[in-house]
């Protein structure tokens, strides 16, 4: 199977919008993207509702529904987008997602018959605020970067960095969905128990080794019934889309608590996602081949398919930047800490879905997966400060003369993502950012 089997007129790189800002070079939200979010006007008493990004504008889907310019599947889909969050729309499935995407693409294209009606539903992104795009019922964090797993394992378990199950099983743990917040939601440095290597007893206090983790968030659309696994051949039909995800981590708390059952308070104090969900359909041009080293164990049959081999990976560039308090006070721009690519992931999204449900576990609309920290094969592609600073032993030098081993109070971490290649329109993900505040 090739990408061409997944492409349609909405992906045409020559397609342009009458919203001129959507046609600008390196715009995150051209007409080929059309991601979804939950928004309202800043400071207003309005209800949050679904919107789609186009250029520097938001298309208000509740307002578009009220105009009653559609019927059938499109109007049914718009009706579900009138809720404060997207779960009802996400539950409708691929047919309705695609029907609405095609209608929005047509209405926002140059020469559209409905231009006047669509124009009346636009609000500038500068004038809006965002909420979580959906109610996240359950959140599972995976561990899909073998480069990250090996690097971190060597620091926590020098004699046995990569456990033997890693190459057989998409490793994951059930995380805390209540502390996932939208970009811009700052948080206080967590407190907890830590134990220094030379100490005889643990102590309690603010985390000293606060870190970020560069991840991709995967949103489930229509789920499955309890006891009915999703096959790898059908897995992608259940994925509504993806976002950027920062799984903040307290490394010193983690080091003391994580054995034998894994992360707990070291992860549950804060996580940050970008507002916009880029749909699976929008990402079709960037699907690429997935491979497994011949020397490694090959996936068991329930994790193997021709389609997953041909197009299971996603060519998504991921970037982390930092803006320290000193940089902010002197109006210096944020600087890059690292850049990696989701296509280097050891396990694919389809394999995550298939494995998660193979025991009969039921997924529900709005459930979210974290991909695990996305580190690449080279040192500069590390997706966490734990790796970049070699567990704090090699300080990271910033251009203004500051150094960091882990995050300090006042640091703002910004994550960005984009897909770009010849013959396709560049699409972006916006950003996920938050600032570390001092502990109480």
Bond preceding residue 195 cis, omega within 30 of 0: no
Tokens read off for 8? 């349609």
Taking alpha carbons only, the member of 236, 262, 214 closest to residue 370 is 214
Q: Report how far residue 245's alpha carbon sits from residue 352's, in angstroms, rounded to the nearest whole number.
A: 16
pLDDT at 82: 97
Tokens read off for 136? 């996240």
Superfamily of domain 9-131: Fumarylacetoacetase, N-terminal domain (2.30.30.230)
Q: Are 343 and 421 in contact (CB under 8 A)?
A: no
Low-confidence residues of the chain, pLDDT below 70? 1-2
Catalytic site positions: 148
Q: Residue 367's CB: how many other CB atoms inside 10 A?
A: 25
Enumerate long-range contacts of 78-84, CB under 8 Å, 24 or more apart.
81/49, 81/50, 82/49, 82/50, 83/49, 83/50, 84/38, 84/47, 84/48, 84/49, 84/131
* Pairing mode of beta strands 49-54, 36-41: antiparallel
Letter string b/e over residues 50-75, b meaning 16 or more CB atoms within 10 A of that residue's CB = bbbbbbbbbbbbbbbbeeebbeebbb
Q: Would you say the C-alpha torsion 5, 420, 339, 378 has a positive or negative sign?
A: positive
Taking alpha carbons only, the member of 177, 214, 234, 182 closest to residue 366 is 177
pLDDT at 1: 59
Give 28-61 as a DSSP string: S--TTT--EEEEEETT--PPPEEEEEETTEEEEH
Q: What is the pTM of this model?
A: 0.97
Q: Which residues pair with 160 in a beta bridge?
A: none
Helix H segments across 199-343? 251-257, 306-311, 325-329
Tokens read off for 161? 């960095």
Q: Report how far residue 147's alpha carbon sits from residue 374's, in angstroms, rounded to the nearest whole number.
A: 8
- Separation of first and last alpha carbons in the chain: 55
Q: Are 174 and 138 in contact (CB under 8 A)?
A: yes
Tell me which CATH code domain 139-437 carries: 3.90.850.10
pLDDT at 2: 67
Q: Which residues pair with 191 in a beta bridge?
A: 206
CA dihedral 45, 51, 57, 63 (to 10 degrees): -70
Same fold, 9-131 and 139-437: no
Q: Which residues pair with 180 in a beta bridge?
A: 271
Q: Are 397 and 335 in contact (CB under 8 A)?
A: no
- Tell me if residue 95 falls in helix, strand or coil: helix
- CA 369 to the chain's CA centroid: 9
Domain spans, the chain: 9-131, 139-437
Q: Are 344 and 376 in contact (CB under 8 A)?
A: yes
């Amino acid at each position: 199977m090739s990408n061409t089997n997944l492409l349609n007129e909405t992906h045409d790189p020559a397609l342009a919008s009458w919203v001129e800002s959507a046609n600008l070079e390196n715009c995150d939200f051209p007409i080929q993207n059309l991601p979804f979010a939950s928004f309202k006007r800043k400071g207003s008493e309005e209800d949050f509702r679904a919107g789609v990004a186009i250029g520097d504008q938001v298309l208000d889907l509740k307002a578009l529904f009220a105009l009653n310019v559609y019927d059938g599947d499109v109007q049914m889909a718009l009706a579900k987008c009138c809720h404060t969050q997207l779960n009802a729309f996400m539950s409708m499935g691929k047919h309705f997602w695609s029907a609405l995407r095609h209608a929005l693409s047509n209405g926002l294209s140059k020469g559209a018959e409905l231009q006047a009606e669509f124009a009346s539903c636009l609000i500038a992104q500068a004038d809006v605020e965002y909420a979580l795009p959906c109610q996240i019922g359950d959140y599972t964090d995976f561990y899909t970067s073998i480069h990250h797993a090996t690097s971190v394992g060597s620091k926590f378990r020098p004699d046995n960095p990569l456990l033997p199950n890693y190459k057989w099983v998409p490793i994951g743990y059930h995380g805390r969905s209540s502390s996932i917040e939208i970009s811009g939601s700052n948080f206080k440095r967590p407190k907890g128990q830590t134990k220094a290597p030379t100490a005889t007893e643990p102590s309690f206090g603010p985390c000293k080794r606060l870190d970020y983790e560069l991840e991709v968030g995967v949103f489930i659309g229509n789920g499955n019934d309890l006891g009915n696994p999703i096959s790898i051949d059908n897995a992608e039909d259940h994925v509504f889309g993806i976002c950027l995800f920062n799984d903040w981590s307290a490394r010193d708390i983690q080091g003391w608590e994580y054995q034998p059952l894994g992360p707990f308070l070291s992860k549950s104090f804060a996580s940050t996602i970008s507002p916009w969900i880029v749909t699976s359909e929008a990402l079709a041009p960037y699907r690429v081949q997935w491979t497994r080293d011949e020397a490694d164990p090959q996936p068991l049959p329930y994790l193997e398919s021709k389609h997953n081999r041909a197009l299971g990976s996603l060519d998504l560039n991921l970037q982390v930047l930092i803006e320290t308090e000193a940089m902010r006070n002197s109006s210096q721009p944020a600087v890059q800490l690292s850049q990696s690519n989701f296509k280097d992931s050891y396990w694919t999204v389809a394999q995550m879905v298939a494995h998660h449900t193979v025991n009969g576990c039921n997924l529900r609309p709005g459930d979210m997966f974290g991909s695990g920290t996305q580190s690449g094969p080279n040192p500069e592609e590390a997706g966490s400060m734990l790796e970049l600073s070699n567990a704090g032993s090699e300080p990271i030098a910033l251009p203004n003369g500051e150094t960091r081993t882990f995050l300090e109070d006042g640091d703002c971490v910004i994550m960005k993502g984009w897909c770009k290649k010849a013959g396709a329109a560049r699409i972006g993900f916006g950003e996920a950012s938050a600032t570390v505040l001092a502990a109480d």
